[in-house]
Structure 1
Amino acid sequence: MNGSVWPDGKQVAVSLSFDDARDSQLDQGVPVLNACGAKGTFYLNVERATARAADWRAAAAAGHELGNHSLRHSCSGNFVWRVANVLENYTQEGMEEELLIANQQLTNLFGAVPRTFAYPCGQTFVGRGVGRQSYVPVVARHFLAGRGFRDEFYNRPEFVDLAKVGGTEMDGVPYDRLIAHIERAAANGQWVVLVGHDVLLDETRRQTVTPETLRRLCEYCLDSANGVWLETVATVAERVHQAQMNSIE
């Protein structure tokens, strides 16, 4: 793969993603993105998404991506708040069934099949001990891309496994550090997928990015002088997939 795969000579791709269909994303996050002319990716839990389905439809109509964040937000039972639906008790088959149910329910709500998935808690396993398995192959069968969380890498377009795209946390991260992530990735032509949860004015709250930080981040990414291609996870994943296919031919 020769040269940058990003359009118009851009040096780095950036995607802004948010998990859990939290109210603050609709109340604070989407308005900031819309005002800036930026598009985000929102990974939805069915129950929460149903409660404000009309607002999520409006977000989709504005160009934001709505992705799958599982049926039950299953994570490890080592989290003290997770006492049911723990990954240690799942099989690949059980997880696959739930992902397809969630896909169908989200399709029924919003009229489009989710194209990308975000692993709850960034965890990609089911089972325990000798029976422990990755469910990345399940995600690979049904989604264009699967996004991780708190990964220690940015994504190399020529190499990344789209079923396990690295995610970089933006909750509680100062603006300057977020820009540093982007600049480091730009030096190598990579793709940064930022991951947030709440969008709140109170920056001391857990799992929060402030509207002001989000606004400044969008403005930086949309300034052509900075060489950033800001797009949804699905749009960037499409381009990466095509570039990888072209390099094989």
Structure 2
Amino acid sequence: MSERTARLPALIDQYASRLENRLIRAAPWQVMQVPTREPIVSFTFDDVPASALDLGAAILEADGVRGTFYISGSLEGRIEPDRTLIDLAGCRELAARGHEIGCHSYAHRDLRHVDGDALVEDLARNARYLDGIDPRPGRRNFAYPYNNGSFGKRSLLADAFRTCRAAGEGINRGPTDPTFLRAVEIRQPQQHVLGLARWIEALVANPGWLIFFTHDISPRPTPYGCTPASFRLLVGYALARGCQVLTVDAALERMGLREQAR
């Protein structure tokens, strides 16, 4: 079997995920109005490597702002070849320092491959885990594992979470589906990271809500992270250009998008 043939199932699945994401964007489940009166930026972290606490959170705090950290309970303390995931004590430290704790599912599986009952159980398990870190009365915010949405699970997610963040390389403005928020990835190579200032310029020129997401913050980042110096420059540039830098939850409140009574 050739290498290309061996990779064919993965390539087909990747294509299917892109197609489903496009279809979800083309047929919004809900619509909220994102105001365009001021530029708002949120910095978010997925999986949450320990370096996101040790370096990422500290960089945000040095500028007096906070971030949103999407946690998967099953990844707690996991040691991988190129990163170590945050442990329970680290999660509690993030919450104590004023950062937002969001949900990234418990098992961190592509939701397209999880049946509805299993997903309900998974989200309930992660809710118990997160409530042990940072209990809250209202709904949390969610980020899709691997940024892959699922048509059939949108109603479940819409009921469980205030917002669900995907990728999509775009700024949220005007009519926006809260179950599939757009976000811009901070990732390698370094040239890509340095070019992200253009998104902040676009936001300042035409305000809305720009959400960045990344993983590790390290002098030797994985392909899905960036260096401390680059992250510091990006946060500082957003503030210097007059953006409001807020957690996802705080951004929703700032925009007047408060929760209805449940």
Cα 1:182–1:134 shift into 2, 3 Å = farther
The match for 2:149 is: 124
Equivalent residue letter for 1:242: L
Contact 2:186 2:212 survives alignment (8 Å): yes
Of 202, 211, 221, which aligns to 2:238? 221
Provide the C-alpha distance between the structure 2 equivalents of 1:143 and 1:20, rounded to a whole number of angstroms.
18
Cα 1:228–1:27 shift into 2, 3 Å = same
Deviations 1:19-55 (A, max 9, x none): 1021111222122222222211111111334762222
Of 86, 103, 107, which aligns to 2:127? 103
Of 204, 207, 211, which aligns to 1:186? 204
Cα 1:103–1:63 shift into 2, 3 Å = same
Once the two structures are TM-superposed, the CA of residue 222 in structure 1 deviates from its matched residue by 2.2
Of 39, 51, 74, which aligns to 1:12? 39
Q: Which runs of 5+ in 2 are unaligned?
A: 1-33, 78-85
Contact 1:22 1:48 survives alignment (8 Å): no
Once the two structures are TM-superposed, the CA of residue 232 in structure 1 deviates from its matched residue by 0.5
Contact 1:144 1:237 survives alignment (8 Å): no
Any residues of structure 2 matched to 1:1-249 within 5 Å, and which? 5=35, 11-49=38-76, 52-75=87-110, 87-88=112-113, 90-112=114-136, 115-125=140-150, 133-149=151-167, 151-156=168-173, 158-172=174-188, 174-203=192-221, 205-223=222-240, 226-240=241-255, 242=257
Equivalent residue letter for 1:70: S
Provide the C-alpha distance between the structure 1 equivalents of 2:64 and 2:183, rounded to a whole number of angstroms.
23
Q: TM-score, with normalisation over the residues of structure 1? A: 0.78
Contact 2:35 2:208 survives alignment (8 Å): no
Once the two structures are TM-superposed, the CA of residue 72 in structure 1 deviates from its matched residue by 0.7
Contact 1:44 1:66 survives alignment (8 Å): yes
Q: TM-score, with normalisation over the residues of structure 2? A: 0.74
What fraction of aligned residue pairs are identical, expressed as a percent? 29
Deviations 1:89-112 (A, max 9, x none): x22333233112211221023333
The two structures, once aligned, show a CA RMSD in angstroms of 2.5
